[in-house]
Chains A and B, each alone.
Chain A
Amino acid sequence: MPRHPFIALLLTLGITLNASAAEVVVSDVTSRAVPIHLAGFSGDAKTVLEFDLYVAGFDLVAPAQAQYTVNGKSGAALEGVLADVNNKATLFNRSYPGGSPRAQAHALADDVVQAITGRKGVSRTKLVFKVQKDRISEVYASDFDGANPVQLTADANIVAAPAWRPGRKSLVYTSYRAGNADIYSQDLTTGSRKALVRFSGSNISPAPSPDGSKLAMILSKAGSPDLWVSDAEGGNPRRLTTTAADESSPCWSPDGSTLCVVSRESGFPQLYTVAASGGAMRRLTTAGVRNTTEPDWSPDGKWIAFTRSRGDYFDICIVPAAGGDAKVITEGEDPSWAANSRTLVFARRTSKFGPRKLSLLDWPTGHVKDIAQVAGSSSQPSWSR
């Protein structure tokens, strides 16, 4: 459902948009945003509520267009009254004592999302990501909107692909601090770090299984960058792909039964699935797009988000987990799902080949908003679930 009539016409005529029309983003928007009006909020609370509700699929509108209103008061304890305009019904009237003004507003935003859509809000979750400055990169964590960033490594080296372990208390990532790409875990409550996988060759792209019991990764120790699965701490590594081509970026189905991974087996990058217990690689159909990398499986199991390369540009795409027609959502790369299987965090360039920044996407409405940025180039986000 392209919004722009010209694009709709092009699509109707079967005209393909190529790299020369790279700035044109075809948005496969599937649902309308919910119109809501905010009144009475100020300062951080207002800013936070507007951000949180927009990326949750709401449009902030004038009272006359609103289907819902939130009347509130910013103060020591934030207060909010959610009303359905059409029914003239009050859905809740709550006060949020304690915490910071931002935390109070996130809590109210989550309650609004829950009350109107029945979905659990994601405003009080965390991101981890890579930040590169000059030729040095470090792992950072922040709130889901980029607020309260914390630098988690300080090796003045190169890091890559940070990923949450379930429980939000520990991470895995790649670091070159020992001169080689090795996989480490880091406990966020104690700050302790452990080298999990350090074979000769590359030890990269770590992906903890949804139950935390296993670790998928790419190892080259058998002579080619292949998909391997080990125990949670790196023990008992088992090789799952045996192609001569390079594999990359594994992710897990939410039930832990299947992995989705990129392989260049056919000469260009495509998505494949393989059973976690081993077996043949199966190509995942992504009709309409090619050069596909960086898959991430939605927590509800229904979708796989991924990146497609289009000349020198990248797009965030979504395909049913069983394969099928790929939807092109917006320009960007390396998507990671929130727990709601609806919002994604991804990286996009500030200019062609410029530094990357992180943004959130509510894909059913096509809403996109940049998060607060740390100085440098931010990429490879992972959303706590």
Chain B
Amino acid sequence: MKPFSKLGSLALVLILSLAAGCKKGQKNYTPLPGYSGTPGASSGLGKGQPILPAARPLTPDGSGANGADVAGVNNPDGPGGQPSREEIEGMLADREQFKANTVYFDYDKSVVKAEGKANLQSVAAYLKAHSDNKVAIEGHCDERGTEEYNRSLGERRALSARDSLIGLGIGADRVVTRSFGEDKPAELGHDEAAWGKNRRGEFILLTPPPAGGLR
């Protein structure tokens, strides 16, 4: 009975519309996507909207069914280029070796603070004594900027520390940079005491993998 009565009312509307000569006041129907004649039975997604997939994480090595990390163009421009991603990703990361050598920056500045010079020299001396090692510099910011601005500023800071190491005689192809912007604070406070510790460059020692599983 129900479908019939709906059909009946639709017909009535049509007849009334015709009788009214399609003047204003007629009822129009705007069926939404998925409408099959039964109101309330569809996905509710508007026209032209993507069907959003559920979260589908890749496998840790990036080779999951959802597409691998391909492309991988890596061609640093000219002299002064950083080591390639393949070189870096094949090395072991040691976050302890240079833990005491973190350098700091003034607010919104990318020049290593004067008291950090000795730390840069320590890192450079170690790298000179271990010629098969490399270093990654991670630049960070406090929370007082906008996010992508801080991401670029953190990179500028890491590059500034890298330039210092190169100036101290370390080969450009031994120093890679990263930036985490404001996403990885060392301290969670919201005052200068915390911010001063967050505006930093950390050095991560990279060592060759053990040959044949042995060192």
Q: Which residues of A contact B (CB under 8 A)?
A: 76-77, 79, 89-104, 106-107, 111, 124-126, 132, 135, 137-138, 141, 150-155, 158, 160-161, 168-169, 174, 176-182, 188-202, 204-205, 218, 220-225, 233-235, 237, 239, 245-249, 262, 264, 268-269, 293-294, 307, 309, 312, 314, 333-334, 352-353, 379-380
Complex CA–CA separation, A239 to B77 (angstroms): 10
Q: A152 touching B35 by the CB < 8 A rule?
A: no
Contact: B47 with A200, CB < 8 Å? no
7 A-B contacts (beta carbon < 8 Å): A89-B24, A103-B44, A161-B147, A201-B82, A220-B155, A221-B81, A249-B148
Whole-angstrom distance between the alpha carbons of A264 and B160 in the complex?
14
**Which residues of B in the span 9-61 have a Cβ within 8 Å of any Cβ on A?**
24-58
Chain B residues proximal to chain A, CB less than 8 Å: 24-58, 62, 66-67, 69-78, 80-85, 88-89, 108, 110, 143-149, 151-153, 155-156, 159, 176-181, 183-184, 190
- Residues of A with C-beta under 8 A to B31: 96-98
Q: Which residue of B lies closest to A77 (CB)?
A: B39
> Is B43 within 8 A of A99, CB to CB?
yes
User: A193-B67, A200-B82 given as contacts; is B183 within 8 A of A154 (CB)?
Assistant: no
User: Which of B33, B43, B152 meets A246, CB within 8 Å?
Assistant: B152
Give the contacting residue for B179; candidates A106, A161, A204; CB below 8 A.
A204
B53 touches A190 (CB 8 A): yes
Among the listed A135, A168, A198, which residue makes an inter-chain contact with B183, where contact means beta carbons less than 8 Å apart? Answer: A135
Structural contact, B152 and A94, CB atoms closer than 8 A: no
Q: Which 3 A-B pairs have the closest CB atoms?
A: A98-B35, A124-B46, A100-B44
B56 to chain A, nearest CB (A): 4
Chain B residue numbers with a CB within 8 Å of A314 are: 146
In the bound complex, what is the Cα–Cα distance between A141 and B67 (angstroms)? 20
* A380 in contact with B147 given A158-B184, A179-B89, A247-B152 (CB within 8 Å): yes
Across-interface contacts of B32 in A (CB, < 8 A): 96-99, 103-104, 107
B77 touching A195, Cβ below 8 Å: no
Alpha-carbon distance between A111 and B146 when the two chains are bound, in angstroms: 37
Q: Are B148 and A293 in contact (CB under 8 A)?
A: yes
Residues of A within 8 A of B30 (CB): 94-96, 107, 111
Q: Which residue of A lies closest to B108 (CB)?
A: A268
Kindly list chain B residues whose C-beta atoms are within 8 Å of the C-beta of A189.
50-51, 53
Measured CB to CB, the nearest residue on chain A to B77 is A222
Chain B residues closer than 8 Å to A225, beta-carbon distance? 152, 155-156, 159
B66: chain A residues at CB < 8 Å are: 190-193
Is the beta-carbon distance between B84 and A154 smaller than 8 angstroms? no
Instruction: State whether B49 touches A197 (Cβ < 8 A).
Output: no
Task: For the complex, give the distance between the alpha carbons of A182 and B179 in Å.
Answer: 11
A contact residues around B85 at 8 Å (CB): 180, 198-200
